[in-house]
């Protein structure tokens, strides 16, 4: 396609035509010439807004783009309503690529009941692979917002599902040929399918009902980075048992193959939660079919300690994600 704004005919057939999911709160949505969206809320509700780019991979980029931003909203205890998209394409991109990305995003939006409200699409020399930035809009009841900084000393720290799901899925897709030379096809396919676990909206809903103190979705920097950010935002210390952090065997195998640390691997699909009664919250999550584990406690002071049997070491501020070492 040519550099510049997408032609109106392409915009209509490959972007706007793909948008099917609608929300009653959206008064003005996507359309030719519409630069803004409008959303109506009730008197006792507030806007919650988040934005994220997908830059680490072009594989299933539409699928990842929606989930990552919706997870940010979920970690605040908000109900997602819609998204605004900025899609930047390199010159080699074809209209079929754009249509596929939009199809991926609309499928996730339909699954999560989220409306694509508008945005901007263009071809530019500034990128060498597709880039999607998603601005998510959600709503929460006044006084019910959950923050990363709400953890209190004495709270239990929980992790939902398993760490490394997103990174493992991306690597298994991007490096399929290389992995198949070492591992059975079934292991590689299972790892690729970890993207089915990426949404944390279900555990967020359960946690909010259960009175969770803080939530933080585990993204770039992995579980180690997310733990640091939760502690730093809340002004608490941590004592975390490394062996209690849930991880899939496929993640262990693939990370060992590429010599990367799974605890510092991008982990959308895993939610960190802080709760006064972590075991009770874990039981409530289990009732909804969501695996979760109490992995430690919030403490007074600033020490963020990792315990591995007799070994004790301290968490460090987040580093560059391990995914980039592979890709």
Tens-of-pLDDT digits for all 327 residues of the chain?
Answer: 777 677 888 888 988 888 888 988 887 777 766 556 778 888 898 888 988 888 777 778 899 999 999 999 999 999 999 999 999 999 999 999 999 999 999 999 999 999 999 999 999 999 999 999 999 999 988 888 898 999 999 999 999 999 999 999 999 999 999 999 999 999 999 999 999 999 999 999 999 999 999 999 999 899 999 999 999 999 999 999 999 999 999 999 999 999 999 999 999 999 999 999 999 999 999 999 999 999 999 999 989 999 998 899 999 988 889 999 998
pLDDT at 278: 97
Q: So where are the chain's domains?
A: 4-141, 148-326
4-141: CATH, from 3.30.413.10, 3.30.1330.10, 3.40.50.300, 3.20.20.140: 3.30.1330.10
Distances from the Cα of 233 to the Cα of 5, 124, 144, 238, 246, angstroms: 40, 37, 18, 12, 23
In contact, 231 and 110? CB cutoff 8 Å: no
pLDDT at 327: 84
Residue 150 backbone dihedrals phi, psi, to 5 degrees = -95, 0
Q: Do domains 4-141 and 148-326 have the same CATH topology?
A: no
Q: Which fold has domain 148-326?
A: Phosphoribosyl-aminoimidazole Synthetase; Chain A, domain 2 (3.90.650)
In contact, 140 and 46? CB cutoff 8 Å: yes
pLDDT at 32: 66
pLDDT at 52: 84
pLDDT at 54: 81
Say what the pTM is: 0.86
Both tokens of 74, joined, read 């979920």
pLDDT at 85: 94
pLDDT at 122: 94
């Amino acid at each position: 396609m040519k550099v510049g704004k997408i032609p109106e005919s392409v915009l209509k057939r490959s972007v706007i035509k793909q948008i099917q999911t609608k929300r009653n709160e959206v008064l003005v949505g996507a359309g030719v010439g519409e630069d803004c969206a409008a959303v109506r809320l009730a008197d006792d509700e507030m806007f919650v807004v988040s934005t994220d780019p997908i830059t680490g991979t072009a594989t299933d980029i539409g699928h990842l783009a929606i989930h990552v931003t919706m997870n940010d909203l979920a970690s605040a205890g908000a109900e997602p309503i819609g998204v605004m998209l900025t899609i930047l394409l390199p010159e080699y991109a074809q209209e079929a690529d754009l249509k596929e990305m939009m199809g991926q995003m609309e499928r996730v939006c339909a699954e999560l009941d989220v409306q694509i409200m508008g945005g901007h699409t263009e071809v530019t020399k500034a990128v060498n692979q597709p880039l999607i930035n998603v601005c998510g809009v959600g709503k929460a009841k006044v006084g019910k917002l959950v923050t990363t900084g709400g953890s209190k000393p004495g709270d239990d720290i929980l992790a939902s599902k398993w760490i490394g799901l997103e990174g493992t899925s991306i690597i298994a897709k991007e490096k399929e040929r290389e992995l198949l030379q070492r591992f059975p096809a079934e292991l590689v396919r299972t790892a690729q399918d970890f993207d089915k676990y990426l949404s944390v909206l279900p555990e967020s809903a359960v946690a909010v009902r259960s009175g969770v103190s803080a939530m933080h979705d585990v993204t770039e920097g992995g579980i180690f980075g997310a733990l640091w950010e939760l502690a730093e935002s809340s002004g608490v210390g941590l004592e975390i048992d490394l062996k209690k952090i849930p991880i899939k065997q496929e993640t262990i195998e693939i990370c060992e193959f590429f010599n990367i640390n799974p605890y510092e691997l991008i982990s959308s699909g895993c939610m960190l939660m802080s709760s006064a009664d972590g075991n009770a919250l874990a039981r409530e999550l289990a009732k909804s079919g969501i695996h979760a584990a109490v992995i430690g406690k919030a403490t007074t002071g600033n020490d963020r300690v990792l315990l591995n049997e007799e070994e004790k070491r301290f968490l460090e501020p987040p580093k560059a994600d391990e995914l980039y070492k592979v890709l």
